[in-house]
């Protein structure tokens, strides 16, 4: 046997031995973890967006309802995947992760859904629109301070039977809200979007008694740029309350209607 072949055999043998040791060690660790008991419950709620629909007490109570007090129970007997699925099904939860660490603690991380508008339908229902454009039920424990949408609001689905396709008019509204939401000036400026019978957007500012007739959701950036310029160089030099309506529907001009 040559020296090169002998070295290769030793090298291969060392790798096989290492793999065997790792397999035995992993089996030992998994066995130990199965027999381990829960030593604690750690809960983290993502509230970076300033929403408080869910708190630690809510999650703790929810877990206790499902499995009782987990502390002292065998980790093997607690179905962490089921807990994760249950939490994700909660209306205000976007995502949940439930796992155990090497010290036997169950760790829960919850990401909340983010409402971007409160919608009032003509049939009397009221819901949130979330940051994915989906319907989000209201909460009895927390009210988000978001822009209000009312008037001839399009329904989420085209009809009750066709729940696979979201209404394009709803998605158009969602895109319009996002334009406002992503601009700090516009977000601070407006408190309401009203949709009239002609499907035109009318905006209500937080300051002043004038309304803004935006029109259809076309040339959105161009219209908002006109409005910003008007606020900066026009209306800032006169009394805000002199105007009843500001009309943005016409090309390259802002039409003001006095009281």
> Does 194 have pLDDT greater than 70?
yes
Q: For the chain, give the mean pLDDT.
A: 86
Read off the pLDDT of each residue in 208-237 and give the average, rounded to a whole number: 85
Q: Which residue has the higher pLDDT, 141 or 136?
A: 136
Which fold would CATH assign to domain 115-258? Rossmann fold (3.40.50)
> Does 248 have pLDDT greater than 60?
yes
Choose the weakest-confidence range: 6-15, 157-166, 173-182: 6-15
Residue 222 in tokens:
């161009």
pLDDT digits 0-9 by tens, 29-74:
555 555 799 999 999 999 878 889 999 999 999 999 999 999 999 9
Confidence of residue 161 (pLDDT cuts 50, 70, 90): confident
Read off the pLDDT of each residue in 111-118 and give the average, rounded to a whole number: 96
Q: Tell me what pLDDT residue 181 has.
A: 95
Read off the pLDDT of each residue in 177-205 and give the average, rounded to a whole number: 95
Q: Which residue has the higher pLDDT, 8 or 145?
A: 145
> Does 195 have pLDDT greater than 50?
yes
Domain range annotation of the chain: 40-112, 115-258
Read off the pLDDT of each residue in 177-198 and give the average, rounded to a whole number: 95
Read off the pLDDT of each residue in 213-225 and give the average, rounded to a whole number: 93
Q: Tell me what pLDDT residue 157 has.
A: 92
Q: Give the span between the Cα atoms of 120 and 159, in whole angstroms.
A: 18
CATH number of the 40-112 domain: 3.10.20.310
Q: Tell me what pLDDT residue 12 has.
A: 58
Q: Give the span between the Cα atoms of 164 and 3, in whole angstroms.
A: 69
Backbone angles phi, psi at 188, to 5 degrees: -75, -20
Q: Tell me what pLDDT residue 28 has.
A: 43
DSSP calls for 190-252: EEEEEE-TTS-EEEEESSSS-EEEEESSSSHHHHHHHHHHHHHHTGGGS-GGGEEEEE--STT
Confidence of residue 99 (pLDDT cuts 50, 70, 90): very high
């Amino acid at each position: 046997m040559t020296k090169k072949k002998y070295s290769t055999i030793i090298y291969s043998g060392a790798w096989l031995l290492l793999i065997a040791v790792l397999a035995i060690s992993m089996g030992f660790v998994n066995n130990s973890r199965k027999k381990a008991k829960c030593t604690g419950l750690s809960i983290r709620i993502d509230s970076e967006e300033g929403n408080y629909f869910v708190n630690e007490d809510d999650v703790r109570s929810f877990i206790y309802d499902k499995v009782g007090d987990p502390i002292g129970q065998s980790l093997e007997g607690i179905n962490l995947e089921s807990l994760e699925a249950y939490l994700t099904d909660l209306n205000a939860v976007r995502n949940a992760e439930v796992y155990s660490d090497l010290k036997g603690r169950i760790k829960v991380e919850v990401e909340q859904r983010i409402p971007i508008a409160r919608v009032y339908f003509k049939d009397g229902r009221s819901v949130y629109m979330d940051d994915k454009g989906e319907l989000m039920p209201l909460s009895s424990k927390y009210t988000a301070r978001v822009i209000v949408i009312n008037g001839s609001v399009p329904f989420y689905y085209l009809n009750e039977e066709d729940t696979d396709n979201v209404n394009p008019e709803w998605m158009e509204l969602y895109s319009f809200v996002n334009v406002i939401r992503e601009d700090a000036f516009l977000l601070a400026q407006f408190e309401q979007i009203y949709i009239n019978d002609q499907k035109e957007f009318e905006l209500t500012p937080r300051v002043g008694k004038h309304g803004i007739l935006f029109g259809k959701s076309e040339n959105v950036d161009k219209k908002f740029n006109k409005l910003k310029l008007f606020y900066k160089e026009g209306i800032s030099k006169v009394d805000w309350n002199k105007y009843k309506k500001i009309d943005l529907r016409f090309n390259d001009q802002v039409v003001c209607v006095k009281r």
